[in-house]
Structure 1
């Protein structure tokens, strides 16, 4: 018995173009599309209060992991501040002193906060001193913006060296 092979009328490509992944957007395309911009209208302080409650739970976990205050300080430097209520205590810009609100967005050089008056404010980190209240330890912490001048994702992986902080 003889086997006869029939030629296929259609050739199947090794890589199916339909399964090909889409091209990712470049940084300039993202800026042009305003992907990371927060709309100034329609943003309410009340919408971000649940985020603050989640952040308080996150801080309770961090505080419970290390009993040593210096360990907690190191963890706090690496922590994510989205959802924290921060208050500006000192700044080069006197108009920013006293500003308080929930951190909505954190970039390398800025905190974007929403105030209780439903206003969105951009606060530079450099040469600014912040105050954060924690329910976990019933304490108020002072954060120097100069130590936070990296993105939160990069700060989490960074090793910090002990350096003296120069007060404003």
Structure 2
């Protein structure tokens, strides 16, 4: 048997009914001559011999009919359009100028955030579950404190001590508390100690150890540290 992939099929297979049914209709002489004639007419005869070019480079060879250059250009256009469609992300300067994170003054009302505090208490009870104190402390470090009712128990700034309010916004270095007299207080985490009550337990948080964005803190691995002096 010939090793040529394109060699003719054996006679018995060619004469079988299945092969006859699958056989393609004969190609006319006009069709056979179309490709060579088209190529020869497309090559400029002033520079080189078209017939030699056809025989040496094209005859009997598989030719890619698509235009790779055109495909590449279309791909670049498509990528460019996709980039244009992408939502533009605001820079930190633009966020500051538009005051996107500032809470409107008409929303500085303690009663508005009582339901948030109730949801937070449910969340903390589920988080606590039957955990041991050591395990719960690790959970607290990564917990979300939006809705927590905090009291500033210690601070280097004496005017912050005793402030109690619901935490409605947390940044890397601040807790923003809304107090019962509808005032928004921005308390720095650094050099401050916060307490909150859960059931019959009182918990203490050292703000210095929480100086991370909430999203960063949720994935960060914390190491045991001694108490921090104010």
The normalised TM-score by structure 2 is 0.63
Question: Displacement, 1:70?
Answer: 0.1
Distance in 2 (CA, whole Å) between partners of 1:96 and 1:67 is 32
Deviations 1:11-60 (A, max 9, x none): xx663949822322111111111100112334210110111011111101
Alignment CA distance shift 1:156-1:42 (3 Å): closer
Aligned residue among 102, 107, 113 for 1:48? 113
Which 4+ stretches in 1 moved above 6 angstroms?
Answer: none
> Residue 86 of structure 1 contacts residue 103 of structure 1 at CA under 8 Å; is this kept in 2?
yes
1:83 alignment counterpart? 147
> Residue 178 of structure 2 contacts residue 185 of structure 2 at CA under 8 Å; is this kept in 1?
yes
Gaps spanning 5+ residues in structure 2: where?
1-30, 32-73
> Residue 206 of structure 2 contacts residue 228 of structure 2 at CA under 8 Å; is this kept in 1?
no
Structure number having the greater helix percentage: 2
> Residue 40 of structure 1 contacts residue 119 of structure 1 at CA under 8 Å; is this kept in 2?
no
- The SS at the match of 2:168 is strand
2:46 alignment counterpart? none
Q: CA RMSD in A?
A: 1.9
1:144 alignment counterpart? 206
Distance in 2 (CA, whole Å) between partners of 1:21 and 1:99 is 44
Distance in 2 (CA, whole Å) between partners of 1:47 and 1:86 is 16
Distance in 1 (CA, whole Å) between partners of 2:146 and 2:102 is 15
Q: How many residues are treated as equivalent by the alignment?
A: 155
Distance in 1 (CA, whole Å) between partners of 2:155 and 2:100 is 30
1:10 alignment counterpart? none
- The SS at the match of 1:53 is helix
Deviates most, 41-50 or 18-27 = 18-27
The normalised TM-score by structure 1 is 0.85
Deviations 1:101-157 (A, max 9, x none): 00010001100010000000000000111111113xx21101111111111111111
> Residue 84 of structure 1 contacts residue 103 of structure 1 at CA under 8 Å; is this kept in 2?
yes
Question: Displacement, 1:63?
Answer: 0.3
